[in-house]
């Protein structure tokens, strides 16, 4: 999924200055963003007060939307570099195409994982014949210096490990949770898990105290460490936790996101993650000139053009408030 904001501004993220080294309960409100004609997303990361959670650098939650008489998701070809995209659905289907020639329909509880590495382009759309409802999340993972220029590739995993407890099932999307390891390729110590809670269930999920964590509410109502979390909001939890109390007020769907704090300072602009403004400017130029990022074939429509760069230089500047 793309950041379609035509007034895109740079976001400085990463580095220890953004990390809370102790357990906290920081409820993040979303920013509402239009994505094409019929989809509105709730953007949780980057957020005014919170830029990253581990290597997780971008989180959009969308739906459930009734698209029976709508085109649904329509995201034209656009570029990425320096990151992985994670596509995760609760309802509906998304057709992925990319400049490597990949063509894959991603369905609910299946992992669509695209590693951009040095450069890739892709499109995402609801199939012409699609289900009535569309509901899911799109997330980005920042790649560390050692792997940010890796060869681009796409992975699709329909069979993912599940951690269970009374009233709880947690599908491990990326990384490791309670000994269960996702088959998706990860480049930093990380975890992403989709959690279903039954109404009335009370349980504790084991965590790594060296990770920072957040929980995104997808559906229903739950309490996370005693804090009510409603759909479309995210609770940042900080570091230093060995377990997380969860309670289902109703049947609920959550996403657990976590990882070791990301040490490197980054610059994120539009659909690029880099280390300097010069890298961003070069990537934009390469996309506009049609080089480096390849071509997505089969999408019925024009590709996206890049927004204008800001007049001020882009560079990491430490903590941004």
Going by the annotation, the residues of the binding site for Fe cation are 78, 80, 122, 124
Q: Exposure string (b/e) for 73-93, b if CB count within 10 Å is 16 or more? A: bbbbbbbbbbbbbbbbbbbbb
Q: How far apart are the C-alpha atoms of 165 and 46, rounded to whole Å?
A: 32
Residue 311 gets which letter from DSSP?
Answer: S
DSSP H helical ranges for 194-276: none
Alpha carbons 183 and 102: distance in angstroms, whole number:
19
Instruction: Decide if 12 contacts 320 (C-beta within 8 A).
Output: yes
**Dist. CA 34–CA 51, nearest whole Å:** 20
Which residue ranges are tagged as binding site? Answer: 78, 80, 122, 124
Residue 160's closest CA among 134, 136, 192, 138?
A: 192
CA 141 to chain centre: 7
CA distance 304 to 101: 18
Q: Residue 284: helix, strand or coil by DSSP?
A: helix
CA distance 206 to 147: 29
């Amino acid at each position: 999924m793309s950041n379609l904001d035509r007034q895109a501004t740079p976001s400085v993220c990463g580095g220890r200055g953004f990390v809370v080294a102790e357990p906290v309960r920081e409820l993040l409100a979303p920013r509402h963003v239009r994505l094409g004609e019929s989809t509105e997303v709730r953007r949780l990361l980057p957020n005014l007060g919170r830029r990253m959670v581990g290597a997780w650098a971008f989180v959009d939650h969308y739906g459930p939307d009734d698209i029976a008489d709508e085109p649904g998701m329509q995201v034209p070809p656009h570029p990425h570099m320096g990151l992985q995209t994670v596509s995760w659905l609760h309802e509906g289907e998304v057709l992925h195409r990319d400049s490597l020639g990949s063509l894959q329909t991603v369905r609910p509880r299946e992992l669509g994982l695209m590693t951009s590495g040095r450069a890739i382009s892709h499109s995402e759309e609801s199939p012409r014949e699609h289900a009535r409802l569309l509901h899911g999340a799109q997330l980005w993972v920042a790649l560390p210096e050692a792997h940010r220029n890796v060869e681009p590739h796409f992975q699709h995993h329909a069979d993912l490990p599940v951690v269970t407890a009374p009233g709880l099932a947690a599908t491990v999307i990326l990384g490791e949770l309670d000994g269960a390891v996702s088959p998706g390729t990860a480049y930093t110590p990380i975890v992403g898990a989709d959690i279903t809670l039954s109404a009335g269930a009370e349980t504790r999920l084991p965590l790594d105290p060296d990770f920072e964590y957040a929980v995104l509410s997808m559906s229903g109502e739950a309490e996370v460490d005693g804090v009510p979390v409603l759909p479309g909001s995210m609770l940042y939890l900080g570091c230093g936790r060995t377990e997380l109390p969860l309670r289902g007020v109703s049947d609920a769907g959550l996403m657990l996101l976590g990882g070791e704090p990301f040490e490197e300072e980054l610059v994120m602009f539009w659909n690029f993650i880099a280390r300097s403004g010069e890298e961003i400017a070069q990537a934009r130029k390469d996309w506009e000139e049609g080089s480096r990022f390849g071509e997505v074939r089969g999408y019925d429509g024009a590709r996206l053009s890049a927004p204008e760069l800001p007049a001020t230089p882009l560079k990491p500047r430490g903590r941004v408030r």
